[in-house]
Chain A
Amino acid sequence: MDTQWKRLNQVFQDVFEDDAINVDESTTAADIEDWDSMKHVSLMLAVEREFQLRFSASEIAQLASVGELMELVKEKST
């Protein structure tokens, strides 16, 4: 598995405290029970910490799927 996806999965597992979580490009908030707006913010902050990047408020607010998130991560990592 691509290391970035592995790291992103670990972030999800830690934020939701659930080792069974497995995300891919199509995963959205509807797929994970606890994923409300406050969890979304915590999730983005945790992704920032893991990948050493920074999102803007609007970037955080507008993400619709984990696929888009991963694209943003890759974009900001280069």
Chain B
Amino acid sequence: MAYIQIKDASYAYPGGFLAVDDINIEIEKGENVAIVGQNGAGKTTTVKMLNALQRPTKGEVLIGEMNTKDHTTAQVSRVVGYVFQNPDDQIFHATVIGEVEFGPKTLGLSDEQIKKQVDYALKITGMAKFRDENPYNLPLSVRKFVTIAAIIAMDTEVMIFDEPTAGQDLEGNRRLGQILKTLRERGKTLITISHDMEFVCENFDRVIVMADKKVVASGTPRDIFWNFDVLEKARLKQPYVSRLCRALGLDGELLYMDEAVQAIREKCLG
């Protein structure tokens, strides 16, 4: 049985607006999964159901042994950490260190353990140098890393990142990739929403595609980005490299830069 199970779950906002319509998702412990799809497809609502910020209005969500309907959001969020799409919805302390310490301090840990987790989070996100800074003096893209550090410091089993790539530059994207890799090596279960298809191909083993409130596909980046039915449904395009390879008539469902270089080189130089 999968570690995370979303079973026949729907979510309707008070007032009746249906944001997620009867979805099923299974995620194993230690998996690194991306969720893609258009604005309004239901991605954020889905992940908010995982840490009980929202509870399904139909169906259920299980994290290990825990059914979110039987637990408070505070209990679930000890296991599932969620980094908000908009950092300003999350930040409420006047210093970076205050923000990052807040979560672990609620967990009843020893001071020594709190310091260890906080230092680790600041280090891997590159935020240590901004320790005493007011988060609002930092650019939005950097503020996002403050909120990521705040969740990593809680050392939850599952971590969810909602559009961390938005507004990031080259270095920001590289750092995000590195953070995912490091957390993965520590056995964390990671779920990331992103609109950056290149980033998705580079950093994830599995991609879940949502469209119009439903899950329309799940598979490896190669399965997804060469499935034109799915791409059409979700109004997504292939990554640039795949699009070019297709235009050039190259076989092999190519996805990565190095594969494309090799295939083109063979055609040109034999």
Question: Are A and B genuine complex partners?
Answer: no
Q: CB within 8 Å of A: which residues of B?
A: none
Using a CB–CB distance below 8 Å, which chain A residues touch chain B? none
